[in-house]
Amino acid sequence: MKYNRILLKLSGESLMGEQGYGISQDMLSDYAEQIKDAISSGIQIGIVIGGGNIFRGLSGVSKGFDRVTGDQMGMLATIINALALHSALEAAGVKARVLTSINMAPIGEYYSKAKALEYMGKGEVVIIGGGTSNPFFSTDSASALRGIEIEADIMLKGTRVDGIYTADPEKDSTAVKFDEISFDEVYSRGLKVIDLTAFTLCKENNLPILVFDMDTKGNLAKVLAGDKLGTIVSNKKGFTFAK
């Protein structure tokens, strides 16, 4: 299949690059260039980005934060990253909008499906910050929810790893990478792809997920061109990649 509209989930932690904290300008610029190449092909792009490079709600709980407060801080971290990515895209000559699931104009417009579709229809990249706006939900869940809402053809989960393995390849040298796998097999094997809430949303709404290495320059374009990078998760094996 050819993708007409995608939901791209970006890792906040990847934005740290080699510096180990905050936002790496080099990584941000690299992401912006990859997205610029993708949007130039006519594909509509919605983006959800994590906030782990700034603050993770669960890590805050271990240090004494109330879970709700910690998650709210994490939501704000995703909005900081959304603004940074928006700035990098604009600098690269790409029209983009920040929509927030929390009403906080003038930082960003309040998210709605109608606005997202309107802007994507005009060729603008839509970056949705703030998670789901609710505590206890991860940005994976926000990505699944927004992907379903905007009727994306696929959810692309850009990470620092090149796909899904039978075990952690950094700990187990015998781990084998999957090219494709069904939702049911992911569940039966107990593989950690995305959190269970996001997983269930994607499975029940037939939204396939492609896990791939976004940190290698050019990989996003290759994925959209139909190269078999990463691992595809869908309701049945034999998924047809973009052509």
Contacts of residue 30, Cβ cutoff 8 Å, sequence gap at least 6? 215, 217
Per the structure, the count of domains in the chain is 1
86-101: pLDDT as tens digits: 999 999 999 999 999 9
How many Å apart are CA 129 and CA 110, to the nearest integer?
10
Give the DSSP letter string of 116-165.
HHHHHHTT-EEEEESTTSSTT--HHHHHHHHHHHTT-SEEEEEESSSSEE
Reported pTM: 0.93
Going by C-alpha positions, the residue among 222, 99, 230, 107 that lies closest to residue 159 is: 230
Q: Which comes out higher in pLDDT, residue 239 or 5? A: 5
How many Å apart are CA 220 and CA 222, to the nearest integer?
5
Is residue 239 in some structural domain?
Answer: no
Is residue 240 in some structural domain?
Answer: no
How large is the average pLDDT for residues 12-25? Answer: 90
Is residue 241 in some structural domain?
Answer: no
Domain that includes residue 17, residue range? 5-234
> 239 pLDDT band (50/70/90 cuts)?
low
Q: What is the pLDDT of residue 243?
A: 43
Is residue 163 in some structural domain?
Answer: yes
Q: Which comes out higher in pLDDT, residue 5 or 243? A: 5
Is residue 243 in some structural domain?
Answer: no
Is residue 49 in some structural domain?
Answer: yes
How many Å apart are CA 125 and CA 121, to the nearest integer?
9
Q: Is the pLDDT of residue 189 over 70?
A: yes
CATH of the domain at 13: 3.40.1160.10
Is residue 145 in some structural domain?
Answer: yes
45-85: pLDDT as tens digits: 999 999 999 987 666 667 777 889 989 999 999 999 999 99
Is residue 137 in some structural domain?
Answer: yes
